[in-house]
């Protein structure tokens, strides 16, 4: 924070730099929860987590879009990026951004794909086929899953790190980022649908 000017209002450069730090912090903090999604798409395939079993409504429990390889590959990628981030944080390379702990990194990565799984369960119960879009839920499942699991098992880190302005930024920014990345993935032929 810079000094306010004479009338006590922050100047526009301060507002801009604080805004950029908030945006950067949102992405930085959530990276271990963002990456699993993209890496699940890259590493996914093979045996689905529900072992192709159906629920009592006759539909698949989770569907072919949730695979063991996708889950493991995604979580691994999330933890690896988190470890790199912790290295940068400890080395003082990113003084503007909040820091992770190893517990938080693991919980964010696992929670993001658990959120994604639970969402697929409810999608199937709603009769939405694998890959069908559920607006906003598809874009926020992993953030909600990541933050809830971390809140449950490491509430101290969440309370300390995820301030209200940061939470609001995350909730607005994530669907936009998710959409953009998925459109790019679709154009590159990595994803079957642009959502
Ligand atoms: N994926 C995976 N295993 C996971 C999560 C994702 O293999 N646990 C892969 C699948 O190939 C999936 C792709 O990543 O198709 C995109 O993930 P997502 O959009 O979450 O799955 P959908 O195919 O849209 O399935 P759903 O309708 O159940 O969300
Ligand atoms: Mg999807």
CA of 191 to the centre of ligand 1 (A): 9
Distance between CA atoms of 114 and 134, rounded to whole angstroms?
A: 17
Rounded to two decimals, the pTM is 0.93
pLDDT in tens, 132-187: 999 999 999 999 999 999 999 999 999 999 999 999 999 999 999 999 998 998 99
As a whole number of Å, the CA-based R_g of the chain is 19
In ligand 1, the atom with minimum distance to the C-alpha of 128 is 27
The number of the ligand nearest the C-alpha atom of 116 reads 1
Distance between CA atoms of 61 and 105, rounded to whole angstroms?
A: 28
Local confidence band at 116 (pLDDT 50, 70, 90 cut-offs): very high
Nearest CA to ligand 1 atom 18: 65
Ligand 1 pocket test, pick from 39, 41, 111 with the greatest ligand atom count within 8 Å of Cβ, gives 41
Contact 26 CB / ligand 1 (< 6 Å) = no
Q: What are the b/e assignments for 36-51, b being 16+ CB within 10 Å?
A: bbbbbbebbeeebbbe
pLDDT in tens, 16-65: 999 999 999 999 999 999 999 999 999 999 999 999 999 999 999 999 99
Q: What are the b/e assignments for 75-95, b being 16+ CB within 10 Å?
A: bebbbebbeebbeebeeeeee
How large is the angle between the packed helices 137-153 and 164-187, nearest 10 degrees?
A: 130
Contact 113 CB / ligand 1 (< 6 Å) = yes
Ligand 1 pocket test, pick from 33, 43, 60, 66 with the greatest ligand atom count within 8 Å of Cβ, gives 66
CA of 138 to the centre of ligand 2 (A): 6
């Amino acid at each position: 924070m810079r000094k306010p000017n004479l009338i006590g209002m922050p100047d526009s450069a301060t507002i801009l730099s604080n805004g950029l730090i908030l945006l950067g912090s949102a992405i930085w903090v959530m990276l271990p929860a963002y990456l699993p999604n993209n890496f699940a798409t890259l590493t996914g395939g093979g045996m689905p987590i529900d072992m192709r079993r159906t629920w009592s409504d006759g539909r698949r429990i989770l569907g072919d879009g949730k695979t063991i390889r996708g889950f493991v590959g995604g979580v691994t990628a999330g933890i690896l990026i988190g470890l790199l981030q912790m290295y940068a944080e400890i080395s003082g390379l990113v003084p503007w951004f909040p820091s992770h702990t190893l517990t938080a990194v693991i919980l964010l990565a696992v929670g993001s794909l658990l959120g994604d799984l639970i969402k697929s369960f409810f999608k199937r119960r709603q009769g939405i086929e694998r890959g069908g879009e559920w607006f906003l839920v598809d874009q926020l499942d992993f953030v909600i899953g990541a933050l809830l699991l971390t809140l449950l098992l490491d509430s101290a880190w969440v309370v300390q790190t995820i301030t209200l302005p940061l939470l609001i930024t995350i909730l607005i920014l994530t669907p936009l980022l998710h959409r953009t990345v998925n459109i790019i993935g679709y154009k590159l032929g990595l994803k079957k649908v642009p959502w």
